[in-house]
Amino acid sequence: MKNKDKIIKSGIIIVSITGLTLCIAMLFPQVRQMIIGFAERMMHRKTSLYGDWSKTLLSYAVGGISLIILFGYCLLTASGKTLVRNVRNEIGECLTVIDWRSFIKLVLIMSGIYLLGTGSLIRANFLYNDDILRSITGDRRWYDWSRYVAEFFSVFIHADYRLTDISPLPQIIAVLILSGSSVLLVYVLNNNKITVIGLLASVPLGLSPYMLECLSFKFDAPYMALSVLASIVPFLFVSREKAFVFCSVICLLIMCMTYQAASGIYLLILLVLCFMEWNGKRKTNRDITLFLERAVVSFGAAMLIFKLFLMKPYSTYVSTEILPLPQLFSGISTNFLTYINFINSDFGFIWKALIGIICCFFIAKSIGNSARNKIISLFAAIILLFLLFFFSYGAYLALERPYFVPHAMYAFGVLLAIMGIYVASGYNKPAKIFALALSWSFLVFALSYGNALADQKRYVDFRATILLQDLSALFPDKDKEDNKISIQMKNTVEFTAEVRNIAEHNPVIYRLVPRKLRGDIMFSYIYILEHFNYAPLSATNYPWNMKNGEPYVDFNTLDLPVVLKTCYHTIKSDGKRVLVELNEMGNAGKNTE
């Protein structure tokens, strides 16, 4: 046994020394340049991103050194081994108190509800934005966004390094993960008890309009859902200090490496738990403060580790750069107001009225169940609600150029679920009715949304078909070398009547349903040209398609003659350059920008 321990210890030392040597070597620019050169030879192409890759390798090297030292401490020192053993025991103790048989049954029940809500979405078989490119090229590219967990698990889910469309399996996996998240959220917020009313009130977690966009992605859905689950799991261990800190850091890193838009969920649960403990005097102020400090330090440590060692810089339509210190307060205020304005314009009157009523019940319950001064509880509940709305946008608040698309705002749906669970658990019937009414309205909208996707797909495919028929008649020899054409599109097609009908009371549908035929969107060209096998994407002359200094020319500035005009589109061409002007038939609805 001693010989075995010595062999294991020697192996750990050898591996650690080897790893440290490699990481220290990567600190030198010459070594990093050699690694990048080797990678270029393996890929048979040059990269123009030497500076970025060099910085990335440098951060990996520093992170690797830190990680090796940490593992060496945990595996080779007596105090480190004791710490590991204590953390493992605490995690085991927390997990043994859960009735896993009942938990699995409840997850299956919630899966049934979520599958009902997403049934029409799955049936629509809609290639949603990034899905178009991934289904054609098979590229994953989550690595570019520092989503390493998504990159890793996609290999197993798709059983290959190359992606193929295997829907609805990824969406079903996402539904199962969200179902587990709902059950865990109720368990955590309801003092380790799970009630049917609490589960029903948690439906906005998985069926809010913003989460529906996440579920619309055939390839990304499981990893977006996993980011929600990873944000909730640490709170299973709140009764054990070391286990809570350890699981918080690990789970928050997983969240950052799946989808960073969930960064606010951990803070939402933390604030509500601290408020409930304080308001009911279940713990002393000192204990609550210590818990809050541990959680904040864990959150900060995870964000710092991700920022310094794991995050790759990205700056296009969204930036990973944090606001400069002098502009931090004003920038965060602007981002928050923009976030609230989007929610206000997305949600119809009924949803906003239900949310407002639930907020009133939230305050009323906080005052009624308070073991403290009622006036103080009133102000504390109001401040808490403001903080919940504020932190629901998470770390994106501090970015120079944040993302305001629906699937970057799904933490707001988790906030609504938290509020619904809070007012529906152990309170009066009207509160439960309104919490369930919000869940029901989201379920109904989810069904409408899936059918709207199918209807928009039908219409876009119809417009694409007649466009390609006209192009093939006008340019029958386009594939011959002397007759190759370059295509640009202008304008967009309108929403269908069904989408416009839904938008009367739920305007968010305009931001959820892509039109697919838009002259300023790359995915439109991929869909029209490559998805229908008309021509490769290289047949376009657009800024994102320029290579080797090829000049971009806006065909709209040229005086191209009209070669065909129909009620659906006008085609202009000089024989080589083709400009397609899409016509909007009737009321086009809102812009989806």
User: 491 is in which domain, residue-wise?
Assistant: 465-582
Tell me the whole-structure pTM to 2 decimals. 0.90
Note whether 408 and 471 are same-domain residues: no
Does the residue 454 lie in any domain?
no
Provide the pLDDT for residue 27.
63
Note whether 71 and 106 are same-domain residues: no
C-beta of residue 491 within 8 angstroms of C-beta of residue 582? yes
Note whether 283 and 160 are same-domain residues: yes
How many domains, the chain? 3
CA angle in degrees (0–180, nearest 5) for 484-486-488? 155
- Of the residues 32, 50, 76, which one is the last residue of a structural domain? 76
**Complete edge-to-edge strand list for the sheet that includes strand 569-573:** 486-490, 577-582, 569-573, 562-565
Note whether 63 and 111 are same-domain residues: no
Please write down the HEC assignment for all residues of 294-332. Answer: HHHHHHHHHHHHHHHHHCCCCECCCECCECCHHHHHHHH
- Give the separation between CA 296 and CA 290, rounded to whole angstroms: 10
Q: Which residues fall within 8 angstroms of residue 3, CB to CB, at 6 or more apart?
A: none
Does the residue 115 lie in any domain?
yes
Note whether 334 and 418 are same-domain residues: yes
Interstrand relation of 577-582 and 486-490 (parallel, antiparallel or unpaired): parallel
Half-sphere exposure of 116 (CA within 13 A, CB side): 12
Name the nearest CA neighbour of 258 among 340, 153, 415, 333.
153
Cβ–Cβ contacts within 10 Å for residue 393, how many?
28
Note whether 132 and 96 are same-domain residues: yes
Does the residue 230 lie in any domain?
yes
Provide the pLDDT for residue 513.
95
Note whether 570 and 499 are same-domain residues: yes
CA angle in degrees (0–180, nearest 5) for 495-496-498? 120
Note whether 417 and 514 are same-domain residues: no
Q: How far is CA 366 from CA 102, 134, 463, 515, in A?
A: 30, 48, 55, 44
Does the residue 562 lie in any domain?
yes
Note whether 18 and 128 are same-domain residues: no
Average pLDDT for runs of 10 along the chain of length 593? 65 70 66 62 50 61 71 75 84 88 94 96 93 87 84 91 93 97 96 92 97 96 96 94 94 94 95 95 92 95 88 70 89 95 96 97 93 93 96 92 92 97 90 96 97 96 94 88 85 93 96 86 86 84 68 86 93 91 68 44
Does the residue 589 lie in any domain?
no
Does the residue 440 lie in any domain?
no
Does the residue 591 lie in any domain?
no
- Give the separation between CA 545 and CA 487, rounded to whole angstroms: 12
Provide the pLDDT for residue 32.
59
Note whether 342 and 478 are same-domain residues: no
Note whether 230 and 280 are same-domain residues: yes
Note whether 547 and 470 are same-domain residues: yes
- Of the residues 48, 76, 104, which one is the last residue of a structural domain? 76
